[in-house]
Amino acid sequence: MIYHAHPRPKTGSKSHGRRRESHEWPRDAPVKPAPFRYLRPESLHEALVHLTEHGDEAKILAGGQSLVAMMNLRLARPSLVIDIGGLKGLSYIREDEHGVTIGALTRHRHLEHYPAPLSGFEVLPTAAELVGHYSIRGRGTFGGSMAHADSAAEWCVLASLFEAQMVATSQRGDRTIPVEDFFLGLFSTALTPEEVLTEVNLTSSYEHTALHEYARRRGDFAVVTAAVGFDLDKGTIRRPRVVLGGVADRPVVTAAAQSVLEGAKPEAQVFEDAGRAAAASLQTTDDIHADAGLRRDLSASLIRSALASAMERRDGRA
């Protein structure tokens, strides 16, 4: 099938397009994004100046895979959009003795295809494969997902697993926010209007990690996400950490599961007990995607299977 371009609107010279008249695009009908001002700063510094002045009415645009969708549906109507997607120097993945540091504009795709195992954080590339779809991963960013703060999102759950330090930058400089103080509620973070997330430091590594999630279809938003990490010392589980996403308005660390695991043998029964303990302790709610009972069942099941995966392979790949 050949697709013919329709005849171009008549123009004076080839290099100038005809401007559509504004009445041709419905502005007061609630379709298409609502009007907004757009700025594309050439540097982080310039972006921060704009934020200091206009932060209250602005949204940062990075990959746009969450924000533009919301703007198309008019669920978000910022009066100013500050596009930092093209800024250089904010896309990197660094490993050192302290852990892994990820620049906020790192595309999901770069994590997915990271060419070496990220020792102590092996689950990161595996989890990246679960983020959205192929096309989404080519544009969406790690930091953007974090700042969007969907509690079931893979990166948000892993930030909690790895006890991330989030670096928020404003004209006044950098401020480091520990992950437990970063996610404040549904789509809500501790970032102030003048701040942009620039970097995430993952500090707490584990020998065994895994992330399992349940979604209606592969690539859909997860209903429940479970991430686990632990070390093994002489065949005994040490330093277990179990985080659930999608069960509350932010990622939840389940102490109940961790208590079952600490000092226990990495066996199927132990994993099942850990999942059950987490489910029993869970305060969760009904919504259109699942009721509380299903969320508890999913939590138990995903924790159990994630623990088993983490034992089989260090990166938890099924």
Partner 1 sequence: MTVHEHDVELHVNGESHRLTLETRRTLADVLRHELGLFGTNLGCEHGICGACTVIVEGAAARSCLMFGVQADGCDVETVEGLAEGQELNDLQQAFSRHHALQCGFCTPGFLMLGTSLLREERIYSREEIIEIVSSNLCRCTGYQGIVNAVVEVQGRRRVDS
Residues of the shown chain interacting with partner 1 in the complex, contacts defined by CB under 8 A = 1-9, 15-20, 22, 25, 27-28, 32-38, 40, 61, 64-65, 68-69, 71-73, 81, 83, 85, 109, 133-136, 138-139, 218-219
Q: Please check whether residue 264 is in contact with residue 236, taking contact to mean a CB–CB distance below 8 angstroms.
A: yes
The secondary element (H helix, E strand) that includes residue 103 is strand 99-103
User: Cβ 25 to partner 1, closest distance in Å?
Assistant: 7
User: Cβ 281 to partner 1, closest distance in Å?
Assistant: 35
CB nearer to partner 1: give 38 or 283: 38
User: Cβ 212 to partner 1, closest distance in Å?
Assistant: 17
User: Cβ 24 to partner 1, closest distance in Å?
Assistant: 8
User: Cβ 154 to partner 1, closest distance in Å?
Assistant: 16
**Displacement of CA 102 from its chain's centroid (Å):** 12
Task: Please state whether 173 falls in left (phi above 0), alpha (psi between -120 and 50) or beta.
Answer: left
Strands (E), 104-235: 165-170, 173-178, 183-185, 188-189, 196-202, 208-214, 224-233
CB nearer to partner 1: give 55 or 144: 144
CB nearer to partner 1: give 68 or 292: 68
Q: Please check whether residue 248 is in contact with residue 261, taking contact to mean a CB–CB distance below 8 angstroms.
A: no
Count of CB atoms situated within 10 Å of the CB of 34: 14
